[in-house]
Structure 1
């Protein structure tokens, strides 16, 4: 189950949004994890560099300085995660019905992934919310990690790869693609 525009921290953007692997693509913007809004943490891959977003992290790491780009704490899609997601949805619905006029049930925030940016000054750990409610498929995790690594192979490679991802986002008009389509896109962007 992939999120599209239904993630509460994604804001009221009217751009089409889609998940492809670990990437949230909204219009021409590419994020690792979910697109944040307000003070929520997030990581944007911009043409100039890796942008840390949110109250507890900020900054720009220029591509020329980025030696490695990795991700950790990525939840893998599993049967137990699906069961837990269904259970959570049922509990949320029940509590909403029972406490209609009270303060209501507050959803807990999604888990965070860690995006590590290695530069000459050290390794910087950035956070971003997970956007896949039941975790990410193992193949998409591997392909996404390879794509993050590819972005650090030099300016021409980064520019071409990021431009292809952005161009796809600007032309995409639907919800997140199906698993086979997502894998095909990740492989295409890997070149």
Structure 2
């Protein structure tokens, strides 16, 4: 699997944030619609039911601040002996004509902090997906061809997000 912006992309799955493990919650995007996962979740909406997909609380910092934060976190992890904690969480807000559902997702990026450019492009892509102006199939096609190779460099990730978001 590979991380591109807020998306964790595999050969047959696209998640907003990290793929949920065990009972952890998350959001999977499919060609048919949006699915919430995890304990007490298990809901599905077809794309024509989705009005908006938003995020809240995504950790975003500039490259310099991200590096400083990662160094600090590495020191804390060494002191705490790695307590096996989940990565930082954020909210994914799914809006339909009938309801708004908030689901916790976990960051997929190394260090737990996204760069502003990737975050903004990811938000643009989520908006286009909800509006029907982008297709999850494009992300899945890329995943089938490239996800086994791991996460691409930042410049390639941003180029992919621009292409998928049409910006």
Work out whether the TM-score is over 0.5. yes
With the length of structure 1 as denominator, give the TM-score of the two structures: 0.78
Shift of 1:61: 1.6
1:179 aligns with 2:151: no
CA contact (8 A) 2:87 2:112 kept: no
Give the SS at the match of 1:126: strand
1:40 aligns with 2:17: no
1:89-136, Cα deviation, whole Å (9 max, x unpaired): 33434554xxxxxxxx52332221111111121211111111122411
Cα distance in 2 between the residues matched to 1:55 and 1:151: 25
Shift of 1:62: 1.7
1:59-107, Cα deviation, whole Å (9 max, x unpaired): 11221110111111110134444334323333434554xxxxxxxx523
CA contact (8 A) 1:82 1:134 kept: no
Shift of 1:168: 0.3
Cα distance in 1 between the residues matched to 2:96 and 2:76: 44
With the length of structure 2 as denominator, give the TM-score of the two structures: 0.88
CA contact (8 A) 2:88 2:112 kept: no
Give the SS at the match of 1:152: helix
1:145 aligns with 2:123: yes
Number of positions where the alignment pairs a residue of Structure 1 with one of Structure 2: 163
Shift of 1:29: 0.8
The equivalent residue for 1:67 is 51
Q: 1:86 aligns with which of 50, 71, 95?
A: 71
| Structure having the higher Rg | 1
1:114 aligns with 2:114: no
C-alpha RMSD of the superposition: 1.8
CA contact (8 A) 2:18 2:26 kept: yes
CA contact (8 A) 1:42 1:127 kept: yes
Cα distance in 2 between the residues matched to 1:113 and 1:92: 21
Shift of 1:56: 3.7
